[in-house]
Amino acid sequence: MIRLPTHPTPDPIKPGEESVWDYPRPPRLEPVRQRLRVVLGGAVIAETEAGFRVLETSHPPTYYLPPGDIAGGTLVSPRRAGICEWKGQARLFDVQGGGRMVPGAAWTYPDPTPDFRAIAGYVAFYAEPMDACFVGGDPVTPQPGSFYGGWITPGIVGPFKGPPGTMGW
Q: Profile the chain (169 residues) by mean pLDDT over runs of 10 residues.
A: 73 96 97 97 98 97 98 96 94 98 98 98 98 98 93 97 87
Which DSSP letter does residue 120 get?
B
Strands 43-48 and 18-19, by their bridges, are unpaired
Q: What pLDDT, on a 0 to 100 scale, did the predictor assign at position 161? A: 94
CA distance linking residue 29 with residue 24, whole number of Å: 10
Q: What pLDDT, on a 0 to 100 scale, did the predictor assign at position 77? A: 95
Q: What pLDDT, on a 0 to 100 scale, did the predictor assign at position 12? A: 95
Domain region containing 47: 19-154
Torsion angle, alpha carbons of 125, 162, 5, 26, to 10: -20
Task: Please state the domain count of the chain.
Answer: 1
Exposed e or buried b for every residue in 117-146, given b needs 16+ CB within 10 A? eebeebbbbbbbbbeebbbeeeebbbbbee
Domain of residue 92, CATH code = 2.170.150.40
Q: Is residue 6 part of a domain?
A: no
Q: What pLDDT, on a 0 to 100 scale, did the predictor assign at position 157? A: 97
CA distance linking residue 95 with residue 33, whole number of Å: 24
Give the three-class secondary structure for 148: coil
Q: What pLDDT, on a 0 to 100 scale, did the predictor assign at position 146? A: 84
Q: Is residue 1 part of a domain?
A: no
Q: Is residue 85 part of a domain?
A: yes
Q: What pLDDT, on a 0 to 100 scale, did the predictor assign at position 59? A: 96
